């Protein structure tokens, strides 16, 4: 039996203050059927959603099928955001590189446009991930009254209250506050390679780097080059031998 979600009180944040600033990535973006001044085209919504979830999306990261469904009205902006959060790109580049605690910070910042309400909310939502997985946390946030009241079904989430009128300096952008992975993932990746040098592993630009663990039993680059040279020379010799035998056979057959 799953335990109920722990209730967490909100803490004071700029996200709870009405924002009177105009323009920028912190301003609302809603679907074009809206008649207000903040309505934008579907193409702008798609770009904004990619920036909000991925920070930057290369061509290979885009989903043409999903974009087509949004353009044709088969799904709304909220469904588009949900699909991006459940994509293999987000799982590989964010979910698998972070602990549950850090994943809560990543998703709350992207979906609700605010920081986590203290350690209590971080723990409560990390328990939700452990019980229901990534999809359970995403559905919980997208179905929450906070999300529906702030963004609804046709608005891309944005960082709320980062820049306030009368405030000389806004808070640091979320993507700078929470990079894609933390220091422990970087350290774990570096431990997979021995720290020693002198192995001759130079993947690019002639830089001598520590030999990765996955190359521990592989031949050195010098050995591979020697073997490739032997194979190349042997191939030429064998080809010449075959051509010489063929020429001899043809000349013998012509003489007979």
Domain chopping of the chain, boundaries: 14-187, 219-256
Those residues whose C-beta lies under 8 Å from the C-beta of residue 5, and which sit 6 or more positions away, are 124, 127, 128, 140
Counting DSSP H helices and E strands in the chain, the numbers are 10, 2
Among 127, 147, 145, 146, CA closest to 137: 127
Query: Long-range CB contacts (< 8 A, 24+ apart) of 173-176?
Result: 174/109, 174/110, 174/113, 174/115, 175/55
Which pLDDT value is given to residue 95?
86
pTM above 0.75, yes or no: no
Report how far residue 14's alpha carbon sits from residue 64's, in angstroms, rounded to the nearest whole number: 35
- On the question of pLDDT at 251 being above 90, the answer is no
Task: Yes or no: say if 129 and 100 are a contact pair by the CB < 8 Å rule.
Answer: yes
Distance CA 161, CA 158 (A): 9
Window from 145-149, 216-220, 228-232, 249-253 with minimum mean pLDDT: 216-220
Neighbours of 208 (CB within 10 A): 12
Mean pLDDT on 233-253: 86
Question: Model confidence over 18-42: pLDDT tens digits?
Answer: 544 444 455 555 555 443 434 468 8
pLDDT tens for residues 160-193? 766 555 666 666 666 666 666 666 656 666 666 5
The third-level CATH classification (topology) of the domain covering 14-187 is 1.10.3130
With 90 as the cut, is the pLDDT of residue 205 above it?
Answer: no
List the one residue out of 173, 151, 161, 147 whose CA is nearest residue 56: 173
**59's tokens:** 């061509």
pLDDT digits (tens, 9 = 90+) for 42-83: 888 999 899 888 887 788 889 999 999 999 999 999 999 999
User: How far, in Å, are 52, 103, 199 from residue 31 at the CA level?
Assistant: 16, 28, 56
62 token code pair: 């885009």
Q: Which residues in 116-154 are b (16+ Cβ under 10 Å) and which e?
A: bbeeebbbbbbbbbeeeebeebbebbbeeeebeebbeeb
């Amino acid at each position: 039996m799953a335990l109920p979600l722990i209730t967490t009180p909100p803490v004071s944040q700029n996200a709870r203050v009405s924002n009177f600033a105009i323009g920028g990535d912190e301003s609302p973006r809603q679907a074009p059927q809206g008649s207000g001044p903040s309505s934008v085209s579907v193409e702008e919504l798609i770009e904004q959603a990619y920036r909000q979830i991925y920070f930057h999306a290369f061509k290979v990261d885009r989903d043409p099928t999903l974009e087509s469904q949004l353009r044709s009205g088969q799904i709304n902006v909220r469904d588009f955001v949900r699909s991006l959060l459940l994509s293999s790109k987000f799982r590989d580049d964010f979910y698998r590189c972070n602990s549950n605690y850090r994943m809560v910070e990543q998703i709350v910042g992207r979906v609700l446009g605010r920081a986590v309400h203290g350690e209590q909310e971080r723990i409560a939502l990390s328990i939700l991930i452990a019980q229901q997985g990534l999809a359970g946390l995403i559905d919980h946030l997208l179905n929450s009254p906070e999300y529906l009241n702030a963004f609804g079904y046709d608005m891309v989430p944005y960082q709320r209250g980062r820049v306030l009128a009368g405030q000389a300096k806004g808070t640091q952008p979320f993507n700078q506050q929470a990079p894609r992975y933390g220091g422990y993932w970087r350290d774990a990746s570096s431990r997979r390679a021995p720290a020693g040098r002198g192995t001759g592993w130079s993947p690019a630009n002639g830089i001598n780097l520590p030999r990765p663990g996955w190359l521990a039993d592989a031949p050195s680059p010098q050995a591979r080059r020697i073997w490739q040279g032997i194979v190349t020379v042997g191939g030429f010799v064998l080809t010449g031998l075959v051509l010489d035998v063929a020429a001899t056979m043809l000349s013998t057959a012509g003489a007979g």
